[in-house]
Amino acid sequence: MTLIAVDFGIEEALDKLGIKEENDGTSTGSNTFSSGEMIESFSPVDGLLIGKVKSTSESDYERVIETATDAFQVWRKKPAPERGEIVRQFGNKLRELKEPLGKLVSYEMGKSYQEGLGEVQEMIDICDFAVGLSRQLHGLTMHSERPGHRMYEQYHPLGVVGIISAFNFPVAVWAWNTALAWVCGDVCVWKPSEKTPLCGIACQNIAAEVFKANGLPEGISCLINGDYKVGEMMTKDNRVPLISATGSIRMGKIVAQAVAARLGKSLLELGGNNAIIVTPDADIKMTVIGAVFGAVGTAGQRCTSTRRLIIHESIYDQVKDSIVAAYKQLRIGNPLDENNHVGPLIDKDAVAMYEKALKQVVDEGGNLILEGGVLEGEGYESGCYVHPAIAEANNTYDIVQHETFAPILYLLKYEGDVENAIQIQNNVVQGLSSAIMTNNLREAESFLSAAGSDCGIANVNIGTSGAEIGGAFGGEKETGGGRESGSDAWKVYMRRQTNTINYTTELPLAQGIKFDL
């Protein structure tokens, strides 16, 4: 990898994270090697080339999988609390390196520095969660119908877990999967987004240091880099029993089909088309805060970003005017400057999708009340900075039905009771995050009922964006149905086994069947 001189203290951050010229894009821990083509990482902040990373070739990949498989034979035999201790140490290293890693996340991805720090904090939080979980990987004991028999269930590690993550959360989503997989006894092979490869190398360096210090096999944490072709190596590999993939619905369908073809397991976290319902009983100030952050945070590049605001006709103009007024106060610029609210999109391809969406909503009959547009001039040289836009639209528009990874908010009007708003909200193919703003208990409970929101996440009086580590994160319908992070999400990283023990001198059969010899 070749490093390019940059501003904002990034060189110092890279040095603290162990990213040096001798690093490569393929790693099984302390050993790094690659023979593939170069991947160039440009910062959307200023358009500068941060570095070049070699991608993973087929021979590189084979070495990684063999090393990971060997490491699994050792790691799975460690008691779960001992595995938890390693994760605790990893979490402490993240605490030490929170500032430089958060800065790298901000610079390579483009989210605000505070969001970058917040993402690293999510990594720390999931490590803490996993440490406690390492002493709670419980099964069940049940009564047998046969006398003198005992039955119970237990969980065992799966093996090699393949992780494919997206650019918008270049470190946290990996940690959500990895911390749980590690305490469950699995080893991990990670393919980060080719748009944020340096974040992957930084995390791998941190993990490798912890495993090396404890005399553990390097293959417990592995890194591969490249485009979709590298991901295909894992999705089609029978040696990888679980693929956890985060990204677009289109990508998820390809991954699901490839993994299903070999009867493997997949955990999918895909697109969102998230809405906030605003009823006549809503607190308007709270609504504005939740909606604006949800729509423009990370420049609208979160899977939980607020895309649609479904507002009751009686307060529609009031809410619209308040939202527009708030948008006019937004400061757009360098995300490492904490005075700014909105940073850049990830690259010029994302800018092109943003512009295409704005044109399409107008072509379909929508009204742009904040037109948006690409920013130019000093400080915007990368060409990736855009104005957050607001459009009055209809839920039936094709563009509204699809997720655009950009800061575009659609205002939708509803009439009648809250059931009508819920119907509008649910009438999309995605089912990730949802919210309702109301002080009416009946409306809130209707929203959370079986006939309410069909999303995996349903919030009352908070926005759609963001989630706590303790709750299972994921969505329904074309969002994929997977669950990561808290609750009992750990079970997907393990295989369930039912055990029956006969402690008598006879062999009675189940269901009273007789088979005498």
Catalytic residues: 269, 303
Give the list of residues 6+ apart from residue 423 with CB closer than 8 angstroms, or none.
Answer: none
Cα 247 from chain centre: 8
Counts for the chain of helices (H) and strands (E), in that order? 15, 24
Dihedral angle sign, alpha carbons of residues 364, 365, 368, 374: positive
Q: Would you say 464 and 475 are in contact if contact means Cβ atoms under 8 Å apart?
A: no
Chain centroid offset of residue 466 CA: 11
- What's the token pair of residue 76? 């799975």
How are strands ordered across the β-sheet holding 242-246?
221-223, 187-191, 160-164, 242-246, 265-269
Q: Do the strands 367-370 and 306-312 form a parallel or antiparallel pair, or are they unpaired?
A: unpaired
The pairing of strands 430-431 and 476-477 is antiparallel
CA distance 194 to 182: 24
Nearest alpha carbon to residue 392 among 313, 281, 453, 297: 313
DSSP 90-101: HHHHHHHTHHHH
**Distance between CA atoms of 270 and 484, rounded to whole angstroms?**
12
* Backbone phi, psi, residue 234, to 5°: -75, -45
Burial status of residue 436 (CB atoms within 10 A of its CB: 0-12, 13-18, 19 or more): buried
